[in-house]
Structure formats: C-alpha cells, structure tokens
Structure 1
Amino acid sequence: MPTYRHGRHEHGQNYLTDRQTIRRIIDLVRDTCGPILEIGPGEGALTRPLLSLGRPVHAVEIDPRLARKLNQELGLATITEGDFLKHRIPDYPHVLVGNLPFHQTTAILRHILHAPGWTDAVLLVQWEVARRRAGVGGASMMTAQWSPWFEFTLHGRVPARAFTPAPGVDGGLMAIRRCPDPPIRMRDRRRFQALVHRVYTGPGHGLAQILARNTALGSPKDATSWLLKHRLAGSDVPKSMSTMAWVDLFRTTGTSPPPTRTNRGQRSRRRG
C-alpha cells in the first residue's frame, strides 16, 4: 500500500511510496555528512525521514500546492517553491537527495555536476540512466567526462510499482561522491571533456584506430602500445576505458588532435 497519498501528475511526478526503498535512501544519506538539499520533495515521503537524521533539510518543490502543504506540515524543514533547474545550488558542503522526474534526469544531472560545494548525491533516477552513469557495461560519455571529479555507484533497481502512479520503466538508485583530491584540476575540465568527446564521437573502429585518428598519439602502432599499458586491446571501444586511462590519455596527449595529412605533407616538404 502507498505510504502517502498522491496528488496531481501535472509536473511529471511519480511519487515514491515504497517504504523499503525509502529506508535504503535514508541509509545511504546517513553515511554522509552535512546539510541536506532535497530535489522535488513532492508530498514529503523522503523529507520526513530525512528530518529524523537531525540535520538541516532544505527542499525545492516546483508544485506551489505541494510547497505550501509541506511548509504547513514540516516546520523543521525549509521549503522553497521553484524549479530546481533554476535554483542556485549552495557553494558550501552539503548532500543532494532526490527522486528525480525521469524526463528531466539528464538536465538535472548536468545542473548538479556543474555546481560546486556539494559532497555527495543520493538520487533515484530511471534504471537505464543509473546503469549508464555507474558504468555498468561500460561508461557513458557523460560519466567518462566527469569521472576524474566524481565517483558514480549503483545501489540497486527500484521496481515501477514502488511509485504512484507507476512509471513505464523501473528506477535505479545511484550515488555520486565528489573526489576530494581529483587527478585533474577543475580548471582543465573543458579541455579534458573535449578530449573525451572527440574519442567517443570520432571516426575509427576500435580504440587503436580511434586514438590514432583523433588524438596526438598519431599512429595505430603508438596507440596500441599506449593501450597495452592500460590492459586494453586495439579492438576495444571508448566505454572500456577506466578513469585512470582517461586521465593518462589527457596527460599524454592533452587535447591536441592529430595533425592533418595536409599539415604532415607541408612539414615533410619543409624538411626536404
């Protein structure tokens, strides 16, 4: 039976109503420290047990009716009415928690990842999104682009029946932790992410070809030699690369693409 009655569905809410899943989320949050910022509290299924942790809780709710209701019922929590995508995330250490609207998951994740300050995030998202972000079956481009700064972990599948109304797909519980000592400086983020993008989207079949054509490694032979150091085969694909492989590729090549054939020919003629 649902833990809480559910309201209107006009903002795409699928209210979490499963007590076991709620306990799993609270247990994950309990292992973190600091104030809590909740994304889309809905009717307060998570907000109430979050308050029991004895930490400050601030929730951002887009539905004005629900925001008013929570303000009346939960005097210990700070409830802000508004769109989380437009909310300025604090720059001090805190923990993000939320049952994210499935249709806005990617946009909210991007908003979160670009924000400073927070140390941990415990999020309920669409199952396939959770799997991709946690690198199950290989890292997605987005996960690889952020992997030097964040650790993504998967904490299980949540069946559609755990929500009211039930969505068409299952959910996935995931956690994100900010790395306290990242191997790449944040000021180099754009350059690193450009490199990852070029490798994921560039031409070639297998990493040996892809890296030779799209990075300064220069040739399939050099690319294969570099891959062997990371126990990768030339036929592997970008999602097979570990975080430290990406970091080493960035340190080895920077973001410089390989010289074009025209440029190579011009340099050869100059040397002649």
Structure 2
Amino acid sequence: MSSPSRHGGRHELGQNFLTDRAVIADIQRLVAATRGPIVELAAGDGALTVPLGRLGRPVTAVELDPRRARRLRRRVTGNVTVVNDDLLRFRLPNVPHVVVGNLPFHLTTAALRRLLAAPHWRTAVLVVQWEVARRRAGVGGATLLTASWWPWYEFAVHARIPARAFRPVPSVDGGLLTATRRPEPLVADRKGYQRFVSRVFTGPGRGLGEILLRTGQVPRPVLRGWLRAHRVSPHALPRDLTARQWADLWTRVRPDADPAGPRPRGLTASRRDGHIEEW
C-alpha cells in the first residue's frame, strides 16, 4: 500500500500517472520554450521529472508520497532536487520560475487557486481534467475563477489528453493547459476588481444589462455606452465577456473611474440613422 495522503485516501486515488510518451514530449516542448528554474508539482514516479531534467535547468520535483520521493531521487541527475512535500503547502521560489504539474484531479481547483495567487512564477504548464482546462481557458464561456484572474494571466488549452494516456485510467479525459502571467496587468486593483466580478457572476438578473444595474455600481448611461462600445447584448451573460471587456468595464465602474472610460482598442466610428456612433 502507498502512504496516506494528507488529503485523504491512498495517493493513487488522487492522481493518475502519465504514460503516453507523446503527451510527455508535448509538455517537455512547452517547458523548453520557457526560461528559468522549473518547479514540478505532484512528480509521482518521475514521468515528467526525468525529461524535464534533460533540459539542463534546475528542477525541483515536489512529491507527497515519501517512498515515491525516495525512488525518484535515485533516478534523477544532479540538476534535479526531489522534495517530499504537499503541493498545497510547498513554498514556491521567490525568483522567476516555471511551474509544471500533472495535478491530482480532486485537487485541481485548490491547486489553481493557490498558484494564481502566488507571485514570481511566469508560466504554468498543467495537466488537468479536460472540462477544467476548457473552462479555465474560457472555451464555451468563462467561469468566475477565470474572469477573476484574466487581467493577470492568459490561459490556453493545447491538447485533449485521452483517459488511456494515464494509469490508472480515469473516468474523464485530461487537458493540457497553460497559464502565462501578463507582462502588464490589465487591472491594477485586484481586490476591488475581483469583488466586482464576483458580484456580477452571482448577481440576480436575466442578462448583463439587468445584472450590472442591480450591482448599483453601473449608472444606466455608462452601461449603455459600454454595451454599445463593445457590441455586447444586454442579454449576454457574464461568462460571455472577454478578458479585455472585463478590464474595460472595471475601468468605468471602479470608485475613481472616469465615467466616459477609455476608448476600447480597435473601435471605429460607424454611421447609423444619419449620425455617428462609437461601436
């Protein structure tokens, strides 16, 4: 039997180990395109650790199971350090670095929340459940978590990973997700912005127009101008907005906002009904 996980049950119950060489090679290529030290979360038996070590950069592999950690230490080269620790407690480096991980599916949300709030790392290359990867990247509509962090990160789905690529085989497919920290955030006030996004996502109403008015932060003329400028229907839902639309909306409703707001990039004046409107 494996050692107990602090999150309950055997370690195998929480993690499905990658065995598909093509998927492992894809992850290695994505990491090779980045710079800096590498931190691998949930290293397991080293399916990713060993190829990452071949990149010649410092690698810290974090593994909860002490026996797996001991075995992995015997397999790796001198540029790889194996740490027996919990991925939710491990202290990330205070220098720019890259995060890699085949995250235990039942810890995905907790791990992402902790990671997104952490400073210093620049790129994260993560294996998560397929639906989680799609939602984080805003495919088919963004979630509250994605919208809350979009001004600081860009998310992208690179591949769908079939369940047969893991051992034991999970009941769902995986997805290869990257998160990249923006060089310049789209928003300065993180706490204020995130409170606003939460109010919009959880607020009552049958569409953005009604929801935004009910927050009490968006005067009707400002709302009309913003919807028109971004070509957003008042019946659209919060999940339908893009990162830049969220950021621009916040610039108009934050406490020190200019009611006119900045003009969104790429907009042109169009003639309608004999007059010019900003669209």
1:139 matched to 2:147? The reply is no
Deviation, 1:255, is: 6.2
Single out whichever of 143-152 and 236-245 deviates more from structure 2: 236-245
| Residues 88-142 of structure 1: per-residue CA shift (max 9 Å, x gap) | 1112100000100000000000110111000000000000000000000111110
Which amino acid counterpart does residue 207 of structure 2 have in structure 1? G
Aligned ranges 1:8-87 → 2 under 5 Å: 10-11=10-11, 12-76=14-78, 77-87=80-90
Cα displacement (A) at 1:25: 0.6
Q: What letter matches 1:101 in structure 2?
A: P
TM-score using structure 1 length: 0.87
Q: TM-score, normalised by structure 2?
A: 0.85
**Is residue 215–residue 255 contact of structure 1 (8 Å, CA) maintained in 2?**
no
- Alpha-carbon distance in structure 2 between the residues aligned to 1:183 and 1:140: 18
Residue 173 (structure 2) pairs with residue 177 (structure 1) = no
Match of 2:236 in 1: 236
Does structure 1 retain, via aligned residues, the 8 Å contact 2:53–2:76? no
Matches within 5 A, 1:176-215: 176-185=179-188, 188-215=189-216
Measure, in 2, the Cα distance between the counterparts of 1:176 and 1:208: 30
Mapped partners of 1:57, 1:215: distance in 2: 49
Q: What is the percent sequence identity of the aligned residues?
A: 51
5+ unaligned residues in a row in structure 2: which ranges? 4-8, 257-279
Give how far 1:222 is off. 4.4
- How far, CA to CA, are the matches of 2:255 and 2:95 in structure 1? 31
Q: State the Cα deviation string for residues 199-244 of structure 1 (Å, max 9, x = none).
A: 000011111101111142233x642332111110011000111111
Runs of 4 or more, structure 1, over 6 Å off, are: none
SS at match of 2:212: helix
Give the Cα–Cα distance (whole angstroms) in 2 for the partners of residues 13 and 210 of structure 1: 39
How far the C-alpha of 1:69 sits from its partner, in A, is 0.6
Contact preservation (8 Å) 1:208, 1:235: yes
Q: What secondary structure, in the 3-state scheme, does the structure 2 residue paired with 1:132 have?
A: helix
**Residue 118 of structure 2 aligns to which amino acid in structure 1?**
A
Q: Which stretch shifts more, 148-157 or 245-254?
A: 245-254
Q: Specify the alignment match of 1:161 in structure 2.
A: 164
- 8 A contact 1:207–1:235 mirrored in 2: yes
What residue number does 2:267 align with?
none
Gapped runs of 5+ residues in structure 1?
Answer: 1-6, 257-272
Distance in 2, matches of 1:56 and 1:142, equals 31
Contact 1:62 1:83 in 2 (8 A): yes
Counterpart amino acid of residue 215 in structure 2: N
> Which protein has the bigger helix share?
1
